[in-house]
Structures are given as C-alpha cells and as structure tokens.
Amino acid sequence: MKATFRIWRGDGSGGVFKDYATDVAEGMVVLDAIHRIQAEQAPDLAVRWNCKAGKCGSCSAEINGSPRLMCMTRMNALKIDQPVTVEPMKAFPQLRDLVTDVSWNYRVKKTIKPFTPKPPDAADGTWRFEQRDADRVQEFRKCIECFLCQDVCHVLREHSLHEQFIGPRFLVYAAALEMHPLDAGDRVGDLEAAHGIGYCNITKCCTTVCPENITITDNAIIPLKERVVDRFYDPLGRLLRVIGVT
Amino acid sequence: MTDYQTFDHDVLVIGAGGAGLRAAIEAAAAGVTVGLTCKSLLGKAHTVMAEGGIAAALANVDDRDNWRVHFADTMRGGQYVNNWRMAELHAREAPERVRELEAWGAVFDRTPDGRILQRNFGGHRYPRLAHVGDRTGLELIRTLQDRAVHAGIDVHMECTVVTLLMDSGRVAGALAYDRERGRFRIFRARAVVLATGGVGRGYKITSNSWEYTGDGHALAYRAGADLIDMEYVQFHPTGMVWPPSVRGILVTEGVRGEGGILVNSEGRRFMFDDIPEAYRAQTADTEEEGWRYTQGDKNARRPPELLTRDHVARCIVGEIKAGRGTPHGGVLLDISWIAKRLPNAAEHIRRKLPSMYHQFKQLADIDITREPMEVGPTTHYIMGGVRVDADTQMSSVAGLFAAGECAAGINGANRLGGNSLSDLLVFGKRAGEHAARFAREWPSASVDSRQVEDASRQALAPFDRGSNGKNPYAIQEQIQEAMQNLVGIVRVEDEMRQALAEIDRLRTEAAQAGVVGHREYNAGWHTSIDLANLLLVSEAIARSAIERRESRGGHYRDDYPQKDPAFGRVSIAVRRGGDGEMQVVQEPIPPVPAELASIIEEMK
C-alpha cells in the first residue's frame, strides 16, 4: 500500500512542500514513514526524534494541520487516499525541514523559581505526604515537554508574545511547583507579572493537543489564575494585606 | 583554527541522561565550571524511558530490607562476576540518592503512611523499587534537569562528540559538532566524564533510540581505556512484538511486578517449568503463592516471572523455538487476569501502569485491562563498558571518567531491573565529585590542533563522496542485522566469526559512506559518523563473546551451555593494541573480601 507524504523542506529563510510516495504497512506510525523516506529517498531530511514510544516528546510536528507526536500517530488514523501533510511546529523559529528551534522553552523554564522544599517534617529527616496529595502534581509531572501545547496556543502562535507569556507548558510547570506538597516557594507574583498568566483566555486548545492528556486548563491554569486573582484583584484581601493582617 | 568555536570548562560531561546530569550537578556543587553536552535536547535521553523504578533499600515497605540484602541480590543477579566494590557502594548509597531526589522535588508514589512507596521487581528479594507509576525515568530526569539548569552548568544541546582530545596520555577535552549548524566545537577540559549510555542501536530489535551507538565506549577505547564485560548484553524479556513498527519497544517489568503472568500459545504458564537452582529457595511453589507475593504478602515467595531478565528472556525464546509462541513470534503477557482476584482491576491496572495502558492502546489497539499483550525479547542494555575505579569512576586514562551504562562493573553478567537508575545516581555523583577533584588538582592540558584538524577532516569526508558514496542508513541496517542474527541471545562461535567478517566488510563500506546536502541538521551525515562507533562496539561484543566459552547471565553460548567456574574468576577485557588491532585478554576478578563474601553466603 502506497501513501504520499507532503513534507515541508526548507529552513528559516523559506521552503516548499515536497511529495514523497512510500509503502505503508499495518501498524505503522507517521515517524516510521518519515524514517523510510529518509533512508530511501531523502537522506538529509531533518527530523528530531528519540524514544519512538511517546515518552520523550521530541518528534512534535503538524500532521494534516494538527499538532501531534509523529511516533504516536498511526497511519490508520489518517486518510491515505490523499497526501498526508507533515510540517514543523509554527510557534517556534524554523531550523530545517521538520525541526524547529525550541530553545526559547528552555530559557523560559530558567525564569521560574525552582523547587524550594519546606523543612523535613519527619523525625528521620524526610517528609510524609499522602498519595492523594501526590496525585494532583503527578498529573502535571507527566509532561514530556513536547511543546505541542505551546505550538497550538494562539498567544504564542498567532500573537508571538513569547516575551510576555510563558505559555501552557510552563503554567503547568509552575502549577506542579505551586501545588507540590513540599514546596514553600511563592510564584504567584511572577505569574501575574513576568509570566503573563492573564494572556491566557482559556480556549483549552492546549488541553486538546496534549499527548499525555493533562487537563492543562482546568487543573493547572485556572487554579493558578484564581490564586492570582485572590492575591491581586480581591479588594478585601488587598486591604487586609496592606494593614498587615495576612 | 577560525572554523571552530572553543569552550573552556574544568569538567566536561558528555551525555545528559541520569548519570551525566547527576555528575554535572555534583561537579558544579564542588565549585568547578561544568559543561554538559548531549546528542538530543535536554531531558530526552534514554533515562526518560525507564519505567519500573529505582532500586534502593529504603525498607519503607518491608523492614527486612537493608543494603546487605540489596548487595547480595545484585551479586546473585550478576552471577558473581560483578565488581564487588561497586555493588557494595551502590547498595549502601542508593537510599541516600533517592531521598536526595525527593529533596530536589521528585514526587514518588506513597505508602499509606506517607513515605516513598516501593514495588517488587525481578531478582530483588523485597519490594525495593521507588517509583512513579510506570514513568519513573521521566521523574528522575526531569528532577535532575530542573536542578541542573539552576546550578550554573553550561548545557550544549544537540551536540555530538566525535573524538576525545588527548595531551600526552591524559584527556584534554573533546571535539564535537552541533546538529543545528553542523559546526565544530572544541571543548577544553581538565577532566571529562563519559555518560553516553549504551549500544542498543547495534541491534535490529531494541528498546534503544538512535542515540545509543556506543559513543562513550568507542571514545574511551580510542583514548586507550580498557573495556570489560562487553559480552554481557541484556535482552529484556518483554518488548512489544506487534505491529512490526513497534517491535522492540519496552514493556516494563512492572507489569509482572503487579501480577502479570507469561503464558504460551497453549495457555500454559511456562515460567514454573524451569527455575534455576540459585533461585529455587526464593521462588513460589504455586501460582497462589506467587500472586500473594505480588500483593505484598511477606510470607510468600516471588512468582517465577520475576526471575532475572537473562533467564526469563531465554525461557521465552525456548517457548517460541519449540513452536509454542504466538503467530507474531512472541508469547503472551497477561495482566488482565487479575480481574479474577481484584475488584476494580481495570482501574487498578490503569493507575499502576498508565503508560503501558496508553502505549498498547495507542500503538497496538490492545486494551491491556481486557486482553494479554504479545511480547518477546528486545536488546535493552549492556552490562559491559569502560573499566573504572569503583570509588572514583576514573578509567585507566588520567582525567577520563565514566558513569552509568557506559561504565562496567556494577552489574556483572546481568543487571537487575531498577539497578540502572540507582547506578546512574550513585556513580554519576561519584564521577562528578572525583572529576571535579581531578580538575582542581591537575594543571590545564593543552589541545593539539593537529588532532582537531584530523578528526574534523575525517568527520567531513562523507560530504566529499556525496551521492557516489555508500548509503549510511543501509550500512547501519546491515550492522543491526549481523548483530541481531549472529551475536544475539543464543550464540555459537561459527556465527560470531561470521559476524566479525561482516563487521570487517562493513567497516570498508563505512569508510566509503557518502552524504548529500548541507551540514545543517543532516541526519544522513550524523548516521555516517555514528557508524565507526557502532562497528567498534559490535566488534568488542563479538570478540569478547567468542572468548567467553561458557554461558553466564546475559551471555549464552549454545556451544558451551554450562557455566564454567574457571570463567567465573575472570573478566574479558578489550583494548587497542599497538598495531591498532583489538586485543582480547582474560583478567582475574579481584576476590570478594571476607566480610562481603559472608553476606553473599548468608543470603544464598
């Protein structure tokens, strides 16, 4: 069975879609087809990948316009009577072919206050907390940093507000720290100001594309927004803080 | 040398999986400057794939556990050819390394009283693996990565080292290229830590990604270091087998730890049929007892599915060869059967094994809460690697350290599941600490520009041959075929000799590899550079495996199926001879001191 892949070839200065026809077999994923094309027809085709099992988040791309992991997109989920379009993520600068420059994400992470543990609460110098307290942050810590949520977020993708807004990935990261049972750090001020949480208007596109099914908007972003509102926009709370009650 | 970007670090760490990150953190904490290179983006290294957990005798779930039991288990699992000092340090220090991860933000699953939960795993006498569902590796790498970025470490992502630079016998740095632009980088360093992982890419069916081409092994060998134990390759018993495109992807041992059973096509639970003598006393007599063990009954013994990986893999191969495999050439691994024993079994499985559930659902249309998985052995790990000093992790080359999978010793002939993540932490830390000390104590070394020029010219040669050269992907595939078919789970001398001939032939082909296009992110070029390392480690594996005329742990010889006590006293070492040929030597294993020997005896 043949399928045609319409793959974006080019770099930061521009590029074109090129068609490659290749055999597809039962159970294949898009990344398999890309590899076959690379081995047989386009040896210099640039693609980033690692685990090929949906665990490392390297092979993010847009397949027929949807942000997805190439290793977890099975061919039988796609219509192959027409060309399958594969192109790089749009929210980041293009490097070559399917590879984008995602270094901005690494710079952003550095700006978030790191984990700051509270003093150990058990006699043996460690901590005790229950599984139900772990559950909430374990959901966020499933994140494989594929940056598909960043790619689909219109604040980044369409408005390019990369300098004002950290994007859903790092709101999830901040939430994992803020809700961490052992963390004593405070990131609420940063979220409101430097991290630009207000730019998110909860369209939930990020939640839709998350390959780890993290409920990004409802479980991470909205609770953080509530903390910001309580701190900065609740008149009674502000008054109490001004007079030093809290 | 205007074409080169130059970076100066006291310590250069090559590889950013668990061992590399832990080494970098430790070296930085010691106050030296640290550079960290990785072939991929930060946080994508193979550590992320580790599923089951970190072995450490915390004794949170069973208070009979302690470092002595863990030490004895590791030695037994390794068939007593481990470096005893590494096994000792590992067992003693792993608990502290795990607690430290928690202090750095890792969120492990909890016991009912709020401590770190531990699970059963093959070859570990007590529940010992601290874990986070079945994504423990992700938790480990993310915790270390997030710590490292605030530790003042210079991270060079997507940067592949092509050679170590030497200065009269000591290491002086490394030459690398960046994937993004294809430009060369010179790293000047007083000490170098290799943390490059394994060699799985040398085999056709593997759980490893493209990165694992034996780089650290090859870099060390060319720099004059010894490699030992290279014949010991771990074939993990349970990789996916269907559909073909996912063949080799890992299915965690945690499935068996949670009660999963192995069944052949006749419906027989075959693991009860062959229990090695060394494990008989610790293995359940009945299915009932095995089940109770997985559910935490301290009076029960482990089911035979949780025997060591080498043994389970061979049993599976035996079933398949005897015609009792599945049509796709595997056997069945069933966790869904626990519905007979547990209320809400489906929910329990999804909670304990979320990524396995996800992986099978998405890649194979299989709901593991309802039906069995098809599994078969997959190349997973190499016990062999750079010979290092147990305490400092320094190789026989001054200033060159190695930690994690690319170093040898801790695991002997077979690694126990869960001992890898703890190995990364324990020996990553030690490597970082001692590399930092070395860097402080030694003057700076000088970089020889001729070495740089030679290596970069050689690296660029495939471009000169262009489309007239040989296809590097095709050569890589032939290496994988040869190793899979001729130096795999069941080995015989004739076939391994054929493999050596094939490696020779492919080395000639690799020297004629050609690539087209530009230097920017050119996967064909990267593959052509990796070939030399793959060929070198493949040769080391084949030669060492020919030399060991017995069967032990991950090394099984059909022509020498028994263990030979004489071989139990030696390691096989390979090193580069004066003529450039690979030398293979047998070297005595230092005897275990009386105090540790008595622990081993006591736990037998």
Transcribe B167-231 into DSSP letters: ETTEEEEEEEEETTT--EEEEEEEEEEE-----GGGSSSBS--TT-S-HHHHHHHHTT--EE-TT
Q: Quick one: DSSP state of residue A142?
A: T
Which chain A residues are Cβ-neighbours of B137 within 8 angstroms?
Answer: 55
ipTM (interface pTM): 0.95
Listed by number, the residues of chain B in 455-494 with a beta carbon closer than 8 Å to a beta carbon of chain A are 471-474, 477
Helix (H) or strand (E) holding B572: strand B570-576
CA distance B141 to B22: 9
CA distance A177 to B115: 19
For A190, phi then psi, to 5°, come to -65, -40
Within B295-340, where are the H helices?
A: 309-321
What's the CATH code, domain B1-232+383-604? Answer: 3.50.50.60
CA distance B123 to B257: 11
CA distance A224 to B441: 49
The arrangement of secondary structure in A103-240, i.e. its CATH architecture, is: Orthogonal Bundle (1.10)
Kindly report whether the peptide bond that precedes residue A114 is cis, defined as omega within 30 degrees of 0.
Answer: no
CA distance B288 to B293: 9
3-state DSSP assignment of residue B554: coil
Is A138–B516 a contact, with Cβ atoms under 8 angstroms apart?
no
Which chain B residues are Cβ-neighbours of A43 within 8 angstroms?
Answer: 471-473, 515-517, 522-524
What is the CA A228 to chain-centroid distance, rounded?
22
Q: What is the pLDDT of residue A238?
A: 73
3-state DSSP assignment of residue B471: coil
The arrangement of secondary structure in B238-378, i.e. its CATH architecture, is: Alpha-Beta Complex (3.90)
CA distance B507 to B187: 28
Is B210–A49 a contact, with Cβ atoms under 8 angstroms apart?
yes
Is A38–B110 a contact, with Cβ atoms under 8 angstroms apart?
no
Which chain A residues are Cβ-neighbours of B364 within 8 angstroms?
Answer: 27
Nearest CA among B459, B494, B407, B9 for reference residue B230? B407
Indicate the Cα dihedral angle A94, A97, A102, A104, nearest 10°. Answer: -10
Q: What is the pLDDT of residue B238?
A: 96
What pLDDT tens digit does each residue of chain A (246 aa) get? 899 999 999 999 999 999 999 999 888 999 999 999 999 999 999 999 999 999 999 999 999 999 999 999 999 999 999 999 999 999 999 999 999 999 999 999 999 999 999 999 999 999 999 999 999 999 999 999 999 999 999 999 999 999 999 999 999 999 999 999 999 999 999 999 999 999 999 999 999 999 999 999 999 999 999 999 999 988 877 777 777 765
Q: Does B102 touch chain A (CB under 8 A)?
A: yes
Query: Amino acid identity of A58?
Result: S
Q: Where in chain B is the domain with CATH 3.50.50.60?
A: 1-232+383-604
The arrangement of secondary structure in A2-100, i.e. its CATH architecture, is: Roll (3.10)
Min distance A138 CA to chain B CA atoms (Å): 7
Q: What is the pLDDT of residue A245?
A: 65
3-state DSSP assignment of residue A223: helix
Which chain A residues are Cβ-neighbours of B146 within 8 angstroms?
Answer: 109, 114-115
Could you tell me how many CB contacts below 8 A there are between chain A and chain B?
169
- Point out the residue among B242, B243, B516 whose CB comes nearest to the CB of A44: B516
Q: State the catalytic residues of B.
A: 236, 256
Q: Does B132 touch chain A (CB under 8 A)?
A: yes
Is B209–A101 a contact, with Cβ atoms under 8 angstroms apart?
no
Q: Does B361 touch chain A (CB under 8 A)?
A: no
Min distance B262 CA to chain A CA atoms (Å): 23
Q: Where in chain B is the domain with CATH 3.90.700.10?
A: 238-378
Nearest CA among B79, B520, B599 for reference residue A10? B520
3-state DSSP assignment of residue B557: strand
CB distance B357 to B254 below 8 Å: no
CA distance A232 to B203: 58
Which chain A residues are Cβ-neighbours of B355 within 8 angstroms?
Answer: 54-55
Task: Please identify every stretch of chain B with a pLDDT value under 70, giving residue numbers as ranges.
Answer: 1-2
- Point out the residue among A27, A128, A145 whose CB comes nearest to the CB of B115: A128
